[in-house]
A and B are shown apart, each in its own frame.
Chain A
């Protein structure tokens, strides 16, 4: 499905301005103007999609409707029907979720002497981590420093970040890179062994460590293999797949004491007793905030936020999401698919339908996304697709012009392959892009040791908040996984050695259901959501209970009328 004929005129205009754009430096947007732009055009700032939470630790503060529904949701269990004495697993540390953060936490907890159970909703490693293409930041070049990295992170996050967490992030970064390498991650390198580092949106130095454009996949393959190897060696690291946590267990002193898992197919419950629990459940793209398509994997449904919220753990910056500036807008089969920022770091510019640049290609993500939305919605300079999506051009052929033929094929094999499947050669023609729901900036409140305010609870990765403030920079999400994943694993193992657990209870669930009733919220969905419900039935199915609620978006939904 190459581009339709009517788009050709615009594609020619893009090609025609390449020689002049080679010379052109588009200036960055000054700070004050940047904030006005984001305020006016970024989806986070649309007040009509936010509402006040009525119950729980964040009562009174704002959250997007879709998250509020889940946070105020009903438990999947009836505490009176669960026998907590019928324990299936008794471990020191339970890690919930196995993307990069959960995997790293499990490895570190095991190394630090804990008996570990890793429970995942899908397979080991089925997580947003594998889709992270661009790289991992670490300030390790001589002209760089953790101080500059710190400033970049704070500025990117509009100075709302938690300084202790940012300090941990930037100081652990070089060691996180080395740790991954020692496990067998193959970083792109120069012949002398130094890393081949690129710049990214909002970074003042080149500090992105990458593995072609399969960085997260490479990291995850290695971590997953290490987990399997340790398990096969009979070390104290066990795992269960397709068994998400649906509720945490507390003890009578209010400490976290384990979790209830549910088999996704049989829906049987498993009781896990654990002295410490690490939540590493990732993000929420599949709840489709404001109906946006997403770059996220199938299981990204904010489960960890719900689990933590129900045991009284406050959340931070939960009203702010990251819309990746460049999701695919065409063809419709890959609507919302992530087009890595690395495309822009390598030299591709963002171009309107007249062939003109309208924004520096490496602004921080919220700014870049807002500028694209403004260009389409206010200035009317976007290109409309046959399915009535709108987008602007991401001029990939500039990369080979700037860096020499073959660069795109070498540096962006995943992107070349993705578009070739739809007969689009990105070395010759640009890609049509529009912002897509990408990342949960906020989440579970933690301290620098990855501990949450509820004793015995730890969190790492996308499900925690405060590290990135209200906007995360490229390459800091995968870094977050390994910095706070490792910290969480270590802290949880240490906590497990010291804690004395009391009597197990689900009274918090009883209390929660009472609060729901008092607030008149019984009609809220059950949560955690576990999986989005994309299935369409031609006729009603008696007794059919989907795992999750239908979302405002489906892979075809509205779009069915638009398939061509």
Chain B
């Protein structure tokens, strides 16, 4: 811990420091830290609101504004850099409601909009676009909700695919919708029911079940290392696509 102080003092001499506010208290932290690492720099051991630390899991949804500008802003703590006079709050976990379904039963009949069955409330979206403005992945959230209302699963899939499920869109929706859960149901429905199965994959599974490769694999398993090395070196390598 003594070292930490030294490091900190040294840092403060060499580095431009910015003021941030965590639960009302002011801290000086080096410019360039993310909100997450800045909290740790301030002595916080994070338990909730921290996952992959790389912008993939949506665990670290954060609300912030500035002492001179009360407008609420949203982001991921691991991906947002601290700025002068930032006031920071972490959202531990967003409890959005979710429709209950069996994936089996989601297979749509011709012309049927299953999403509307699961989430009938989506029609009350009045297009304020707050969800889109909030999304840390810059997704067109309001647009894919419109697509969901129209039953255009393919478009919901395309536009929502990069969703981290951080829940910020639901936090911001004045109508209480859960865009990220709606999009998840749409994508699962598409993956399971609306894409063509791979014939190659089905064929290969049957071949394996019938034991087509068993004898040859048994032989490989018994081969000594020299023999395996020879076979490995002799593999023909297919060019990358």
Is the CB of A155 closer than 8 A to any CB of chain B?
A: yes
Is the CB of A259 closer than 8 A to any CB of chain B?
A: no
**A130 and B51: CB pair below 8 A?**
yes
Instruction: Name the A residues within 8 Å of B232 (CB-CB).
Output: 31, 151, 154-155
Instruction: Name the B residues within 8 Å of A205 (CB-CB).
Output: 238
B40, B184, B204, B213 pick with most chain A CB within 10 angstroms: B204
Is the CB of A225 closer than 8 A to any CB of chain B?
A: yes
**A150 and B220: CB pair below 8 A?**
yes
Q: Which of B46, B47, B198, B208 contacts A193 (CB 8 A)?
A: B198
B207-241 contact mask (Cβ, 8 Å, vs A): 1 or 0? 01000010011001100010011011101111111
**A531 and B198: CB pair below 8 A?**
no
**B100 and A232: CB pair below 8 A?**
yes
Closest to B188 in A: A184
**B93 and A123: CB pair below 8 A?**
yes
Listed stretches B9-17, B83-91, B141-149; interface member: B9-17
**B54 and A337: CB pair below 8 A?**
yes
Q: Which of A128, A265, A297, A557 contacts B7 (CB 8 A)?
A: A557
Q: Which of A143, A154, A199, A540 contacts B241 (CB 8 A)?
A: A199
Is the CB of B22 closer than 8 A to any CB of chain A?
A: no
Is the CB of A58 closer than 8 A to any CB of chain B?
A: no
Instruction: Name the B residues within 8 Å of A163 (CB-CB).
Output: 220-221
Is the CB of A519 closer than 8 A to any CB of chain B?
A: no
**Size range of the chain B interface in the assembly:** 35 or more
Query: How many angstroms from the CA of A346 to the CA of B241 in the assembled complex?
Result: 8
**B238 and A184: CB pair below 8 A?**
no
List which B92-106 residues lie within 8 A (CB) of chain A.
93, 98, 100-103
Closest to A212 in B: B161
Query: How many angstroms from the CA of A332 to the CA of B15 in the assembled complex?
Result: 14
A165-187 contact mask (Cβ, 8 Å, vs B): 1 or 0? 00100110011011001111111
Q: Which of B32, B54, B163, B188 contacts A338 (CB 8 A)?
A: B54
Is the CB of B50 closer than 8 A to any CB of chain A?
A: yes
**B241 and A298: CB pair below 8 A?**
no
Instruction: Name the A residues within 8 Å of B216 (CB-CB).
Output: 147
Report A339 CB to chain B, min CB distance, Å.
11
Query: How many angstroms from the CA of A338 to the CA of B55 in the assembled complex?
Result: 11
Closest to B33 in A: A556
Is the CB of A358 closer than 8 A to any CB of chain B?
A: no
Query: How many angstroms from the CA of A204 to the CA of B235 in the assembled complex?
Result: 7
Instruction: Name the A residues within 8 Å of B122 (CB-CB).
Output: none
**B200 and A141: CB pair below 8 A?**
yes
Report B140 CB to chain A, min CB distance, Å.
13
Query: How many angstroms from the CA of A212 to the CA of B138 in the assembled complex?
Result: 17
Q: Known contacts A123-B51, A140-B201, A345-B240; is A561 also within 8 Å of B220 by CB?
A: no
Report A270 CB to chain B, min CB distance, Å.
16
Query: How many angstroms from the CA of A122 to the CA of B57 in the assembled complex?
Result: 11
A interface residues, how many (CB within 8 angstroms): 106
Is the CB of A564 closer than 8 A to any CB of chain B?
A: yes
Is the CB of B20 closer than 8 A to any CB of chain A?
A: no
**B221 and A167: CB pair below 8 A?**
yes
Is the CB of A221 closer than 8 A to any CB of chain B?
A: yes
**B191 and A186: CB pair below 8 A?**
yes
Is the CB of A319 closer than 8 A to any CB of chain B?
A: no
Query: How many angstroms from the CA of A472 to the CA of B213 in the assembled complex?
Result: 23
Closest to B52 in A: A297
Query: How many angstroms from the CA of A222 to the CA of B240 in the assembled complex?
Result: 29
Q: Which of A151, A159, A347, A413 contacts B225 (CB 8 A)?
A: A159
**B32 and A332: CB pair below 8 A?**
yes
A122, A125, A198 pick with most chain B CB within 10 angstroms: A122
Is the CB of A378 closer than 8 A to any CB of chain B?
A: no
Is the CB of A380 closer than 8 A to any CB of chain B?
A: no
**A538 and B8: CB pair below 8 A?**
yes
Query: How many angstroms from the CA of A100 to the CA of B45 in the assembled complex?
Result: 26
**A212 and B1: CB pair below 8 A?**
no
**B43 and A537: CB pair below 8 A?**
yes
Query: How many angstroms from the CA of A183 to the CA of B188 in the assembled complex?
Result: 7
Instruction: Name the A residues within 8 Å of B8 (CB-CB).
Output: 536, 538, 560
Q: Known contacts A140-B200, A222-B188; is A538 also within 8 Å of B5 by CB?
A: yes
Is the CB of A406 closer than 8 A to any CB of chain B?
A: no
Is the CB of B4 closer than 8 A to any CB of chain A?
A: yes
Listed stretches A49-57, A109-117, A414-422, A458-466; interface member: A414-422
Query: How many angstroms from the CA of A140 to the CA of B11 in the assembled complex?
Result: 54
Q: Which of A187, A228, A333 contacts B32 (CB 8 A)?
A: A333
Closest to A154 in B: B228
**A140 and B204: CB pair below 8 A?**
yes
Report B219 CB to chain A, min CB distance, Å.
9
| Cβ-closest 9 pairs across A and B | A184-B188, A193-B196, A560-B11, A155-B232, A126-B51, A184-B191, A163-B221, A555-B37, A186-B191
22 examples of A-B residue contacts, CB within 8 angstroms: A123-B51, A128-B52, A130-B52, A131-B52, A151-B232, A181-B191, A184-B189, A186-B157, A192-B199, A204-B237, A212-B162, A229-B103, A265-B48, A417-B55, A417-B137, A421-B55, A531-B47, A535-B44, A535-B45, A555-B37, A560-B8, A560-B11
